[in-house]
Amino acid sequence: MVNDNEIYYTKFVQRQLKSSFNGNQAACKRFLDETLPDVLKMMDRYSAQDNRWWLTGGAPMAYYQLKEISTIIVEYTDFMENLSRLLGRPIQSFEVGQNYWATLQEADEAYCDYVKNGPKPPILDEEKTY
């Protein structure tokens, strides 16, 4: 039986056909077959807590996607934009890879503040540097 998480992830990967798989449907299907079981375990774990963050956007999506960085299940540009908003500063893509633990610690603190106080003011477009 196909569940909502499987449908979501399958569609997400298929939308990456051109950008990630150069239009190679066989490679896309192989990737999906290889990753689906582990991704569903992760998604189901959050769903069991009534936390389907990949559907929410905003700070929750950015925070939890950062925590699950090895499994990208949201559009990367949306993730980076929302991570910048969560942290209250522009963030560059390399920071996530090179300084993951420091970025995660900063996000932990920012997300606690977000939960307590709500979102930070928006970052101006010209401040974005990623």
- Encode pLDDT of 101-118 as tens digits: 999 999 999 999 999 988
Q: How confident is the model at residue 119 (pLDDT cuts 50, 70, 90)?
A: confident
Average pLDDT over residues 65-81: 96
CA distances to 12, 73, 111 from 27, in Å: 15, 18, 36
Residue 1 has pLDDT above 60, yes or no: no
pLDDT tens column, 45-67: 999 999 999 999 999 999 999 99
Is the pLDDT assigned to residue 122 strictly greater than 80? no
Looking at residue 31, its pLDDT comes to 97
Q: What local confidence, expressed as pLDDT, does residue 118 receive?
A: 80
Report the pLDDT averaged over residues 19-32. 96
Check residue 116 and give its pLDDT: 93
Helix intervals (H) in 1-130: 4-15, 17-21, 25-48, 58-67, 76-87, 93-98, 100-117
Q: What angle do CA 15, 21, 26 make, to 5 degrees?
A: 95
User: What does the pLDDT read at residue 123?
Assistant: 61
Return mean pLDDT, the chain.
92
